[in-house]
Amino acid sequence: MSVGERNSGLVSGIRVDVTRLHETWMELVFPRQLDTAHTVLGKWKPNNTLGMAAYRLWGALGVPLVAILYPLALFGYMTRFYTRKLDGTATRLGVAGVLLLSLVVWGGLTALARIRFSADGFIAVAAASVVATLAAVLAVMFNRVGGRGTTVLLAYPFGMTALFLPPVVAALYSPTLADAIFPQSTTLARWILDNLLSIGNLNTYIRTRYDLEGVAYVGMWFGIAVPLGWLLGVLVTIADVLRPARD
């Protein structure tokens, strides 16, 4: 395939995605907007001046929204690729297999903590590993038994918690892990406060009342895991709307 053909295919794919995303926006208010190119009735449009004005206004409002959502959808394609692989692995392992794998991974971290850390450090890492194992099992269960809403609201946040919690807790007692995790955590916290939590001086309130040290890092990463899980779930949902995944 030549470079020109590849570029043409890329442009065509983007056009299809953007059109479908805008049609989905139109479908929120007006009937028969999505995937009507090859139907007998075709796309519905109002038959009076006032209705057509509302139709065009709603379409115009969707243009900036599509411009914002489409880059997120591209990231959603990549996220979906990896989440599908994780889903496939979890399906093959089953709930018992995921439980066993989590026990092996975080149990190994706990055993290392028993050797290297103080008694308090060992107990903290062991507790975090138990919570992470439970979160991993719940993520698999909610992903299996629930629909899209349950998967996004519960499965993804539990999955993120299972990944983040034990390493951050272990970093409280390991200088090596602390040097790897905490400086980046501080940089990330500053960015979140300066950009995402600047509305209503919420960042000032947090800075004056809380110090990012010790167990506060655990609270920070737990606070990130939940909305990050929701964000990844929403991105995958957008990707599924634009390009439904084939089984």
* Spatial contact of 155 and 146, defined as CB atoms under 8 Å apart: yes
Structure tokens at 18: 């953007």
pLDDT, one tens digit per residue, over 44-65 is 888 888 888 888 898 888 888 8
pLDDT band for 201, please (50, 70, 90 cuts): confident
DSSP 201-241: GHHHHHHHH----TTHHHHHHHHHHHHHHHHHHHHHHHHHH
**Sequence ranges of the domains in the chain:** 97-242
Lowest mean pLDDT among 38-42, 100-104, 133-137: 38-42
* Spatial contact of 233 and 73, defined as CB atoms under 8 Å apart: no
Structure tokens at 222: 């737990």
pLDDT, one tens digit per residue, over 77-113 is 888 887 777 777 777 777 788 888 888 888 888 888 8
Whole-prediction pTM:
0.68
Listed residue (100, 167, 110) closest to 136, CA to CA:
100
pLDDT band for 10, please (50, 70, 90 cuts): low
Measure CA of the first residue to CA of the last residue in the chain; give whole Å. 27
In angstroms, the CA 51 to CA 197 distance is: 40
pLDDT at 247: 43
* Spatial contact of 192 and 124, defined as CB atoms under 8 Å apart: no
245 vs 38: which has the higher pLDDT? 38
Q: Is the model's pLDDT at 1 over the cut of 60? A: no
pLDDT at 188: 81
